[in-house]
Amino acid sequence: MRLWTVHPQYLDTKGLVAAWREGLLAQKVLLGQTRGYTRHPQLQRFQARPSPVQRIADYLIGLADEASRRGYNFDRAKISVPGSGAKLIETRGQLLFEWSHLKRKLRKRSPKSYRACRKIEVPTAHPLFRIVPGPKRKWEKANSRKPGVIRVSRKRRRGRAGKSGASSRS
């Protein structure tokens, strides 16, 4: 789950749709409608504030507004409560961490989107957030990989024949 601090204008189509889907999941978690993800680190900044369901509604409204700007139609009826327009405080370090993370994603999956934003050093934040000085948040998962290092899975793929690994070919 990723609830982006960066403005949704920077997300490619896949990213915007994924952010909408993950925002709706976060809304369900905050409403107590699911047992999973209740301790997900991305939810901490919402859970720590008054009216977390309204804050996630504001987040979803920002995504829906961006979708509308692009000519897409996200179903706003899925937003459970009206937004309040209140801001959440987020740090510049968190914004920049996410910006770097997003640019790495875009470089791989959407070169056109990456080219459009690669020279931007400090992005605009999602309308929900007011950015203040500070480091990356402690709840943020640290990227344990070194830049440029690609992990290779060591799991062996099993054939269709089942656990024995025997092949049905003669």
On whether residue 120 sits in a domain, the answer given is yes
**Residues 85 and 129 sit within 8 Å (Cβ to Cβ):** no
On whether residue 60 sits in a domain, the answer given is yes
On whether residue 121 sits in a domain, the answer given is yes
Mean pLDDT confidence for 110-128: 94
Q: Which residues contact 142 (CB under 8 A, 6 or more apart)?
A: none
d(CA 38, CA 135): 25
pLDDT of residue 142: 65
Nearest to 128 by CA among 6, 19, 28: 6
Mean pLDDT confidence for 125-131: 97
On whether residue 94 sits in a domain, the answer given is yes
Q: What are the residue ranges of helices labelled H in the chain?
A: 13-30, 44-47, 52-69, 92-109, 111-117
Assess whether pLDDT exceeds 80 at residue 162: no
The model's confidence at residue 127, banded by pLDDT at 50, 70 and 90, is: very high
d(CA 64, CA 86): 17
pLDDT of residue 134: 96
Mean pLDDT confidence for 83-98: 94
On whether residue 38 sits in a domain, the answer given is yes
On whether residue 66 sits in a domain, the answer given is yes
pLDDT of residue 39: 85
d(CA 133, CA 153): 39
Count of structural domains within the chain: 1
**Residue ranges making up the domain that contains 79:** 8-132
Assess whether pLDDT exceeds 90 at residue 114: yes
On whether residue 36 sits in a domain, the answer given is yes
136-to-85, 96, 140 alpha-carbon distances in Å? 24, 8, 7
On whether residue 67 sits in a domain, the answer given is yes
d(CA 148, CA 93): 22
How confident is the model over 14-38, as pLDDT tens digits?
999 999 999 999 999 999 999 888 8
Provide the β-strand partners of residue 90: 131
Mean pLDDT of the residues in the chain: 86
